[in-house]
């Protein structure tokens, strides 16, 4: 065969040779991609190495991991055997990090959009050209409008260093969805009430009872957190889940309170009233450490069992049962603070109610309660302090408009977006987006697109294409979490009841980045040099960055590497010792059931319930949540995860479905109260496990960008149907569960019966 083929090529090439075409001259000008190398005989032994020091970022829980590397190829990820947090376990997403790294759709080179925003035409350009354009454009904005003319939308560990640079530039408006579409109120309302932010540090394994209001642990998989929940169950803790839907957590519950959506605050006030009325709350704790106990008692008195039951549409005896259970087991009860809280636009008050309930049960700093976990500390990298013509803090939009006094760090995104559209109170003309897909995170997408269209310049940096990358003028490819140094993770053994230990780990690359992907320290330093700030660069590269973060611990990358990526030392129990008094970092030094600070700002000083609008006839409330193998839209294009859960089934009550002529597996679109239709469709799941006044879909599906070839148009994008939002006065955070939908099947609109 070889002889024949050689003859074939001989015939073909003969005429070329005869024609005397200067091929060799032309090809000699280009650099070669293949070069001579030492001969390696076939069958040479190739070892699989274990590389330590990885920290997962498929979600934000940051499990510690190791990689199995063969040659230059990452073949498998596993939990770091040394981990006292996630241990050897990784979740489905953690395992699928490999598919992110080697996704052919991933960004590979810097690109310039020579088409339109939203309908891009890409030209691959050099880093030098890309960074020169970014420096020129950002400088032009600063020259014309000052640093306040730049907005930054960011998320994730890779944005920390860029963020520090934009602080140095004096950029006042920055937005992170972690606060404004997720945990903002949970953090701020807890802070305002208790004087500390418990995050989700709740000692479930050692509790006797747990209360989860809307938390669906098990669908929201944060590994050590799930371990805590399951250990609690194993240890016999009684679980109460308050959810309109039979969630994964509800499936494990002893009491499932199938509450009417939007009435959670009333439920919490009702529980407190019953406990006050029957005098079964933790009197000693409440009297000693709480401010405004009497006023709270009076305030909740209207929430009798009957009234609460009617408002929440639940049996009265369930309220009694839950209140008795929690009170009986106090203080060893886990009143879960929750995570995502941007539900109805009255959520600050709900979290305050949650904090007050925790307080009157004294469920903190003790086994089973919310605990103040004692972690090691590490440093920060700052750019030098410089004087700005305008004080960035004063120029922050919320300060200028004098609103949202209890907002989390940053600028409320819709406020920023309004400004980008109107130019008032001042123009914002350049946007930097770092590692977040704001098309999916911010409700009212048409407003976001309008704001984007209004910019002079948009820089987007990410690891993969997302919806918002289609709007970039310059698009930069970043090394993923497995290919760079970065985040320092600090924690303790996962079960607070076990022997106290502390750990520290720093992210180290398991493999080199491919193509021309770069780490954020390199990108920002190169940008800074081009903007004339080279002399102020605080760290020269990513290794120096991490060593700087580690400085106060006495550790270095080299030392951590010798320790297989994780340093462990004896820790301290988070439980109060006998005779030790708890401290509360509030204005009064006590837990503020009654908040004067809130009264001063004209907000209700005691947790207050406000009704949320009811669905119009023919519609049901759209509630959303998490899918256990996805992290919002970030994993939509991951081939392994998409194969497990490719879309987000629409949960609809089985009796309603029957009346509507819907059955499991039907394909449907959704239409909301404003006539907005979903671009893509999803599959129907009929179930008795959801109330009739709401339907459920998981968030993060229905990708718009066809460059995400796996996730494109799979399932429905819930956020595209969030055309109505309710911006809360305390924080500027918008509630999103106030949109209502009905179903479209085969082009026919079908009302959802009440």
Segment lying near another protein (by CB under 8 A), choices 508-516, 600-608, 628-636, 689-697: 508-516
Both tokens of 12, joined, read: 């073909």
* Closest-CA residue to 441 (of 60, 733, 694): 733
Between residues 438 and 705, which has the closer beta carbon with respect to another protein? 705
CA angle 63, 337, 606 (to 5 degrees): 155
Between residues 114 and 251, which has the closer beta carbon with respect to another protein? 114
Let me know: does 424 contact 449? Beta carbons within 8 Å: no
* Total Cβ atoms within 10 A of residue 557: 18
* Total Cβ atoms within 10 A of residue 298: 12
| Residue 19 contacts another protein per CB under 8 A | yes
Scan residues 140-179 and list those touching another protein (CB under 8 A): none
| Residue 15 contacts another protein per CB under 8 A | yes
| Residue 122 contacts another protein per CB under 8 A | yes
Segment lying near another protein (by CB under 8 A), choices 2-10, 180-188, 238-246, 693-701: 2-10
Segment lying near another protein (by CB under 8 A), choices 64-72, 230-238, 339-347, 383-391: 64-72
How far apart CA 502 and CA 491 sit, in angstroms, is 6
| Residue 522 contacts another protein per CB under 8 A | no
| Residue 251 contacts another protein per CB under 8 A | no
Segment lying near another protein (by CB under 8 A), choices 65-73, 222-230, 284-292, 450-458: 65-73
| Residue 639 contacts another protein per CB under 8 A | yes
* Total Cβ atoms within 10 A of residue 248: 19
Between residues 105 and 498, which has the closer beta carbon with respect to another protein? 105
Between residues 556 and 709, which has the closer beta carbon with respect to another protein? 709
Provide φ and ψ at 66, rounded to 5°. -125, 160
| Residue 102 contacts another protein per CB under 8 A | yes
Between residues 96 and 608, which has the closer beta carbon with respect to another protein? 96
Between residues 465 and 538, which has the closer beta carbon with respect to another protein? 465
Residue 33 neighbours by CB under 8 Å, 6+ apart: none
| Residue 47 contacts another protein per CB under 8 A | no
Position among 63, 111, 472, 716 found at the interface with another protein (CB under 8 A):
111
Provide φ and ψ at 529, rounded to 5°. -60, -40
Segment lying near another protein (by CB under 8 A), choices 35-43, 319-327, 344-352, 489-497: 35-43
Position among 34, 279, 580, 747 found at the interface with another protein (CB under 8 A):
34
| Residue 124 contacts another protein per CB under 8 A | yes
Distances (CA, A) of 751 to 223, 248, 275, 616, 659: 40, 28, 42, 10, 10
Between residues 45 and 748, which has the closer beta carbon with respect to another protein? 45
Segment lying near another protein (by CB under 8 A), choices 99-107, 188-196, 442-450, 581-589: 99-107
Could you tell me the smallest distance in angstroms from the CB atom of residue 461 to another protein? 14
Between residues 30 and 558, which has the closer beta carbon with respect to another protein? 30
| Residue 515 contacts another protein per CB under 8 A | yes
Between residues 114 and 749, which has the closer beta carbon with respect to another protein? 114
How far apart CA 507 and CA 501 sit, in angstroms, is 20
Pairing verdict, β 748-750 and 740-745 = antiparallel
**Count of residues near another protein by CB under 8 A:** 75
| Residue 9 contacts another protein per CB under 8 A | yes
Handedness of CA 179, 182, 186, 192 (dihedral sign): positive
Scan residues 707-726 and list those touching another protein (CB under 8 A): 707-710, 712
Could you tell me the smallest distance in angstroms from the CB atom of residue 105 to another protein? 6
CA angle 159, 166, 200 (to 5 degrees): 40
Could you tell me the smallest distance in angstroms from the CB atom of residue 100 to another protein? 10
Please give the full DSSP string across 221-243, using - where no structure is assigned.
--HHHHHHHHHHHHTT-EEEEE-
Between residues 106 and 737, which has the closer beta carbon with respect to another protein? 106
Q: Per-residue b/e over 588-605, b at no fewer than 16 CB within 10 Å?
A: eebbbbbbeebeeeebbb
Between residues 124 and 287, which has the closer beta carbon with respect to another protein? 124
Segment lying near another protein (by CB under 8 A), choices 40-48, 221-229, 625-633, 652-660: 40-48
Position among 321, 324, 399, 516 found at the interface with another protein (CB under 8 A):
516
Segment lying near another protein (by CB under 8 A), choices 95-103, 241-249, 362-370, 422-430: 95-103
* Total Cβ atoms within 10 A of residue 324: 14
- Measure CA 319 to chain center: 32
Position among 128, 390, 393, 512 found at the interface with another protein (CB under 8 A):
512
* Closest-CA residue to 733 (of 403, 442, 342, 443): 342
| Residue 128 contacts another protein per CB under 8 A | no
Distances (CA, A) of 123 to 109, 456, 515: 10, 19, 16
DSSP state of 638: -
| Residue 104 contacts another protein per CB under 8 A | yes
* Closest-CA residue to 258 (of 266, 248, 246): 246
Position among 121, 295, 499, 658 found at the interface with another protein (CB under 8 A):
121
Let me know: does 153 contact 175? Beta carbons within 8 Å: yes
Between residues 112 and 260, which has the closer beta carbon with respect to another protein? 112
Could you tell me the smallest distance in angstroms from the CB atom of residue 520 to another protein? 18
| Residue 534 contacts another protein per CB under 8 A | no
Scan residues 430-489 and list those touching another protein (CB under 8 A): 465, 470
* Total Cβ atoms within 10 A of residue 388: 18
Element (H, E) at 573: none
Burial class (CB in 10 A: 0-12, 13-18, 19+), 528: buried
Position among 48, 49, 71, 283 found at the interface with another protein (CB under 8 A):
71
Residue 736 neighbours by CB under 8 Å, 6+ apart: 181, 342, 343, 443, 624, 719, 722, 725
- Measure CA 285 to chain center: 35
| Residue 30 contacts another protein per CB under 8 A | yes
Q: Can you tell me whether residue 504 is helix, strand or coil?
A: strand
| Residue 679 contacts another protein per CB under 8 A | no
| Residue 22 contacts another protein per CB under 8 A | yes
């Amino acid at each position: 065969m070889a002889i024949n083929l050689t003859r074939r090529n001989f015939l073909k090439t003969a005429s070329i040779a005869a024609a005397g075409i200067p091929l060799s001259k032309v090809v000699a000008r280009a650099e070669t991609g293949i070069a001579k190398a030492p001969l390696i005989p076939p069958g040479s032994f190739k070892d699989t190495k274990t590389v330590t020091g990885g920290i997962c970022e498929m979600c934000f829980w940051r499990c510690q991991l190791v990689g199995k590397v063969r040659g230059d190829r990452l073949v498998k990820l596993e939990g770091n055997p040394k981990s006292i947090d996630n241990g050897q376990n990784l979740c489905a997403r953690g395992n699928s990090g490999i598919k992110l790294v080697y996704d052919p759709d991933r960004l590979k080179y810097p690109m310039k959009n020579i088409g339109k925003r939203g309908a891009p035409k890409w030209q691959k350009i050099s880093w030098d050209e890309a960074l020169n354009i970014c420096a020129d454009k950002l400088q032009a904005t600063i020259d014309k409008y000052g640093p306040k003319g730049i907005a930054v939308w960011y998320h994730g560990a890779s944005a920390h260093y860029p963020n520090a640079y934009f602080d140095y530039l004096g950029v006042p408006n920055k937005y992170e969805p972690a606060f404004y579409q997720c945990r903002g109120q949970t953090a701020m309302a807890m802070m305002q009430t208790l004087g500390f932010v418990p995050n989700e540090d709740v000692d479930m394994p050692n509790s006797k009872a747990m209360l989860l209001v809307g938390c669906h642990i098990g669908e929201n998989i944060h590994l050590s957190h799930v371990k805590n929940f399951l250990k609690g169950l194993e240890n016999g803790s009684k679980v109460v889940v308050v959810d309109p839907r039979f969630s994964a957590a509800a499936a494990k519950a002893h009491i499932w309170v199938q509450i009417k959506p939007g009435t959670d605050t009333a439920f919490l006030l009702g529980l407190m009233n019953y406990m006050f009325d029957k005098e079964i709350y933790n009197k000693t704790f409440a009297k000693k450490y709480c401010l405004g106990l009497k006023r709270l008692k009076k305030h909740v008195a209207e929430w009798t069992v009957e009234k609460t039951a009617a408002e929440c549409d639940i049996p009265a005896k369930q309220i009694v049962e839950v209140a008795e259970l929690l009170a009986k087991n106090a203080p060893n009860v886990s009143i879960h603070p929750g995570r995502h809280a941007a539900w109805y636009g009255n959520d600050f008050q709900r979290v305050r109610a949650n904090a007050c309930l925790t307080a009157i049960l004294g469920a903190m700093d003790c086994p089973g309660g919310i605990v103040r976990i004692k972690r090691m500390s590490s440093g920060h990298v700052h750019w030098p302090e410089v004087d700005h013509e305008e004080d960035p803090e004063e120029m922050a939009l919320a300060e200028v408009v004098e609103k949202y006094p209890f907002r989390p760090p940053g600028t409320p995104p819709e406020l920023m977006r309004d400004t980008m559209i109107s130019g008032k109170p001042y123009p914002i003309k350049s946007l930097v987006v770092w590692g977040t897909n704001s098309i999916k995170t911010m409700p009212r997408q048409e407003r976001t697109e309008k704001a984007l269209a209004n910019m002079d310049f948009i820089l987007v940096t990410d690891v993969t294409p997302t919806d918002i990358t289609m709007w970039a003028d310059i698009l930069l490819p970043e090394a993923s979490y497995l290919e760079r140094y970065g985040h320092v993770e600090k924690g303790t053994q996962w079960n607070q009841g076990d022997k106290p230990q502390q750990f520290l780990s720093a992210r180290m690359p398991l493999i080199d980045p491919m193509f021309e992907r770069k780490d954020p320290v390199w990108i920002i330093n190169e940008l800074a040099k081009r903007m004339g700030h080279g002399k102020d660069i605080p760290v020269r590269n990513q290794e120096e960055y991490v060593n700087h973060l580690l400085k106060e611990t006495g550790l270095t990358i080299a030392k951590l590497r010798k320790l297989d990526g994780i340093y462990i030392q004896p820790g301290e129990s988070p439980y109060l010792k006998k005779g030790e008094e708890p401290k509360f970092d509030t204005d009064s030094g006590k837990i503020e059931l009654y908040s004067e600070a809130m009264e001063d700002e004209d907000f209700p000083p005691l947790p207050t319930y406000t009704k949320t609008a009811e669905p119009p006839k023919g519609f049901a409330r759209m509630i959303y949540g998490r899918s256990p193998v996805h992290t919002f839209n970030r994993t939509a294009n991951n081939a392994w995860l998409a194969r497990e859960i490719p879309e987000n089934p629409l949960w609809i009550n089985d009796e309603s479905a029957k009346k509507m002529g819907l059955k499991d597996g039907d394909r449907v679109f959704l239409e909301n109260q404003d006539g907005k239709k979903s671009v893509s469709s999803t599959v129907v799941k009929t179930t008795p496990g959801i109330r009739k006044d709401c339907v459920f879909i998981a968030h993060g599906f229905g990708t718009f960008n066809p460059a995400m070839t796996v996730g494109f148009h799979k399932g429905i994008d819930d956020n595209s149907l969030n055309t109505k939002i309710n911006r809360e006065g305390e924080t500027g955070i918008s509630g999103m569960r106030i949109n209502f939908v009905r179903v479209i099947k085969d082009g026919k609109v079908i009302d959802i019966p009440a």
